[in-house]
Structures are given as structure tokens and as C-alpha cells.
Amino acid sequence: MAEFSIEPLSEDSLLLRFGEGIDARTNARVHQAARILRAAGLASLIDIAPAYATLLVRFDRFAADGEALPATVARVLHTGLRRDGGYAVDSGSTPRTLEMPVCYGGDFGPDLAAVAAHANLAMDEVVARHTAVDYSVAMLGFAPGFPYLLGLDPALQLPRRGSPRTRVPAGSVAIGGAQTGIYPRELPGGWNLVGRTPSVLFDPLRDPPCLLAPGDRVRFRPIDADAFARLAGSRV
């Protein structure tokens, strides 16, 4: 029995459900399924949008294979199932890893002290733990280019702020529950701000416009305020 279900959302979209909630293993299956479908070369496939535990598939129902796509999707994924319940992924599908410079604390991360107090750690230790692991881009959402990142050290997990900010600066690196995220532009938000990156996460004139994609890996690198200013000033 395959570890997914297929639900019709509209006459030209399907929702593939692999589980519930936020779970790294379930999210990995979502991305593996997305790679299989993209590699299948289905003529009617228009778009695939991964989330934590689901995969949205949009298709052209008037294409030659459009009416048969739901059955084709099920067949393609069943074929890709391995005995351990995962999916076969070829060696060419290794995720990208991007390094993200971040200036932590101060005006760049006004909630760093609160995270440290909650975790009973020094602020330097919070930064060390936050930069010690590779994060997985579980999905993009909330705003164009906003990555939801899995892999946060459990000691750094902290609920969202009781009072959201009306303005969060672009590039702010934040913690919300068990996740880390990066605000791609100035937005309202209730996550705890620990730092800021000069990297531009979303640019509509860039191809592709989003710096990160679902399934990518991210590693944060600490920088000081002078390095932040240099990098921000060198952006094209």
C-alpha cells in the first residue's frame, strides 16, 4: 500500500497527501515524490508545489494525457516506491546547498537575547548552535520566497511572539516554534528575530525570482555588521 493519498482539489489540480504535521521524514518523501514526477515528463503537468506533508499538482486537463493524469501520477509514484517505503531517487538529484551570511543580535536580531534566555544559553552559544547544522527548505510560503526551514536545534525552539510586529525588515532570520525562516521583504510577522542576511531572497526580475527552492539545503554563516554593510552594498 503506497504511503500517500490523492485528493482532487479542482478540475485541474490534485493534492497528494503523505502524512500530517511537520515531520522531516514525511517532508523528504514529499520532495522525493516531486522529483519523480518532474522526471517523468508528463505532458499535461503544469506545476508542482511541495508543502510539509502534501504536494500540489496542477495540470492541463485538455492536454492529450490530461484526463488520465490522476491515474498516471498514482502509477508513477507506485513504481518509484522502494521496499522501505521511500522513493528511488537517482544520483543526479542531490540537493543544492547554499551558504547564507547572517549578522546576529543587536538591531539585526532583537530577539536573540530572548531566545538565549528561553534556552538558558549564552547568546554566543545560540549563534553557534544556529549555524552548526544544515537546514532543509521544507517549502516556500507566507510570501514569495519565504523559506520554511527544518533542522533547528531543539534547544532553540521558541513559540512565536505574543504580539507580532507590524514591520519586520527584509532578510530577517527568525525562529518560530520548531522552524527557522527568512523574511524575503519587509513584512508583518510574529517570529523571533535572531539575525539578518544581506542576501536577496526574492527578486521578480531575477530568473528564477526565488533564491531558494523547496528541497534545497541552507547553512548560515555568522558575519559582523561591517561585512553585512559590504555585502548589502555590493548587491546588484
pLDDT per residue as tens digits for the range 20-69: 889 888 998 899 899 889 888 888 889 999 999 999 999 887 776 667 77
What confidence score (pLDDT) does residue 91 get?
A: 39
What confidence score (pLDDT) does residue 44 get?
A: 86
What is the per-residue pLDDT across 110-158, written as a single tens digit (0 to 9) for each? 999 999 999 999 999 999 999 999 999 999 999 999 999 999 999 999 9
Rounded distance between C-alpha atoms, residue 180 and residue 152, angstroms: 7
What confidence score (pLDDT) does residue 82 get?
A: 55
What confidence score (pLDDT) does residue 171 get?
A: 97
**Domains of the chain and any CATH numbers:** 5-92 (3.30.1360.40), 97-233 (2.40.100.10)
What confidence score (pLDDT) does residue 80 get?
A: 73
**Are the beta carbons of 135 and 218 closer than 8 angstroms?**
yes
**Are the beta carbons of 136 and 215 closer than 8 angstroms?**
yes
pTM: 0.86
Judge whether residue 74 has pLDDT over 90: no
179-182 and 187-189 strand pairing:
unpaired
> Given pLDDT bands bounded at 50, 70 and 90, which one contains residue 86?
low
Other beta carbons within 10 angstroms of residue 97's beta carbon come to 11
Rounded distance between C-alpha atoms, residue 172 and residue 180, angstroms: 10
3-state secondary structure of 196: strand
Indicate the Cα dihedral angle 135, 140, 146, 152, nearest 10°: -20
Q: Which stretch of DSSP H or E encloses residue 114?
A: helix 112-119
